[in-house]
Amino acid sequence: MSLTQGFVDEFERLLQWRRDVRHFASEPISDELVEHLLDLACLAPSVGNSQPWRFVSVDEARHRSAVVANFSAANAHALQGYEGERAERYANLKLAGLGEAPRQFAVFCDEDTSQGHGLGSRTMPEMLRYSTALAVHTLWLAARAHDIGVGWVSIIDPERMADDLDVPRRWKLVAYLCLGRSLDESTVPELERVGWQARSSACRQVIYR
């Protein structure tokens, strides 16, 4: 495979602009585009070719309300873990776009899948969840390439989510994603911009043996 320098440059730019989005426009995304993004996500690598990811489109009002309630409870609990100025700063963060994002997906990992016949996951069962995370990241890059922002909501009770969405308990939540047009374009993570946490200068560490 031969790629042009222009493609390489644009790919690097894509990685820089791939940011977690919390501020969404309410305009809808076409079903055709969403289906295309999901097809691209399924090109992600997976242990033993197991493809353990399960995308659940959360569209009904009652299910979205359950997700919001889940987030609100988890967020209140998380706030109790902070004190003083850090607690005040946490309370003022916008941590999800659940009320605005036109498309939302709960992404589960089926840890009992027979696909792949256990290759690689018998020795490292966690590889199934890692594979699902790679599908999430592939979707994220694909969405950004189509000018769609993605927000990953992790302040949530995963067990409650399975019950709220009526999916098998053996499925384990890996990500809850909000998708939509971003109202806030920046190559700098929002948490860095608002002073929560700067990037670490030691994020790139290589240990040689």
Over residues 93-131, the pLDDT tens digits come to 888 999 999 999 999 999 999 999 999 999 999 999 999
Q: How far apart are CA 122 and CA 56, in angstroms?
A: 26
Residue 6 lies in a domain: no
Q: How far apart are CA 179 and CA 148, in angstroms?
A: 7
Strand order in the sheet with 103-110: 53-57, 103-110, 171-180, 149-153
Residue 209 lies in a domain: no
Residue 84 lies in a domain: yes
- Domain residue limits at 123: 19-184
Integer CA distances (angstroms), 160 to 28, 97, 105, 154, in order: 28, 19, 15, 13
Write the pLDDT tens digit of every residue in 163-205.
999 999 899 999 999 999 998 887 777 777 877 787 777 777 8
Give the CATH number for residue 159: 3.40.109.10
Residue 105 lies in a domain: yes
Positive or negative torsion for Cα 45, 46, 52, 53: negative
Residue 189 lies in a domain: no
Residue 9 lies in a domain: no
First to last CA, the chain: 32
Residue 164 lies in a domain: yes
**Number of domain units in the chain:** 1
pTM: 0.92
Residue 167 lies in a domain: yes
